[in-house]
Structure 1
């Protein structure tokens, strides 16, 4: 399984850019979204989609998995925006997740799943994650859970995340739909992500 550090995850997802729109209401070419002025590129989103599709094509359940994830590009963009929000909210709250914590979580889940092959299969089927995306997803969940602990409840943490999103201002390329500030996700068919804290008996990857 490939590893990614916390810094490399953030660097891949976001790159500086001045505006989502070049002129009028036309989206700036190559921009999927802006989070606090930081650009998430369509290329970064499509790269994540490509990795998942490649993993699905290697799976015996490939055709069924692909059919069940028709909205994969929107899902990946949504997750990238949410991770950016979590990173900022965690920084504001003085909450950190170390590389060692991610590695320890990976080791625990490898043991729980029975090995790397089983973990990767479960992550792909249950959370639509390619092998290289598991560590980023682990960071996502650890940051989320630490924010819940920091604020003392899930509801208070969610309100803090909403305030963070409002302050940063999410600008979305219209091709991906709209941003729902209440759900902290993409409007219409956005996927839920705010769940109870991870327990030892939960799925090996994903929210």
Structure 2
């Protein structure tokens, strides 16, 4: 888990299973040929998913000491992350909130300084969070969005109450967007805010406090 001194310091830990599963997809309904998912009428093409998976594979393979085996469920996780990005954006919009490029730049700069530079930050995000260079801003936008959603409810996303507030907000936003997912990638469980048949999580899990 990346340790930062910024707003995203414990974001993935804070939202627990929500981010670990990274799953906001829906049970399939209307057929959408060539789509991995449809969120609020917006198609996420299978080709986009495949391109992102290929980018991540290439980036990881280029790193010294990269793991030989590919993480399980990589394609499903990619679909779920793309959908989650849009659900977080909808939840922010519902609260008249947004994450600016300035917010992202400040947080990213602070994390890079803490870790020893942009290259060190990029490597940590790639190997520990599965975020390739081209998706770093999206990663920060999502995590900062989660923090703002919790704050809008007077909560801290690092707490159990904050986690519950974020889950409720994203559940409502997902319902509003009428998410559909290609059955090959899973089935959306609105109550659990997760894929019912998602592969086991492959990102580092938070360590329980001593």
**In the aligned structure 1, how far is the partner of 2:116 from the partner of 2:109?**
10
Q: Where in structure 2 are there 5+ consecutive unaligned residues? A: 1-27, 156-161
Partner of 2:80: 78
Partner of 1:111: 113
Range that drifts further, 99-108 or 165-174: 165-174
**In the aligned structure 1, how far is the partner of 2:47 from the partner of 2:75?**
11
CA deviation after TM superposition for structure 1 residue 28, in Å: 2.7
Range that drifts further, 178-187 or 53-62: 178-187
Partner of 1:173: 182
Alignment of 1:54-65 (within 5 A): 54-64=58-68
**In the aligned structure 2, how far is the partner of 1:89 from the partner of 1:192?**
26
**In the aligned structure 1, how far is the partner of 2:128 from the partner of 2:38?**
28
Alignment of 1:179-194 (within 5 A): 179-189=188-198, 191=201
Compute the RMSD of aligned alpha carbons: 2.3
Partner of 1:34: 38
SS, match of residue 126 in structure 1? helix
**In the aligned structure 2, how far is the partner of 1:89 from the partner of 1:45?**
23
TM-score of the superposition, structure 1-length normalised?
0.75
CA deviation after TM superposition for structure 1 residue 142, in Å: 0.4
Q: Where in structure 1 are there 5+ consecutive unaligned residues? A: 1-18, 22-26, 197-207
8 Å contact 1:86–1:143 — kept in the other structure? yes
Task: Tell me which of the two structures has the higher relative contact order, counting C-alpha pairs closer than 8 angstroms and 6 or more residues apart.
Answer: 2
Partner of 1:157: 166
CA deviation after TM superposition for structure 1 residue 156, in Å: 2.4
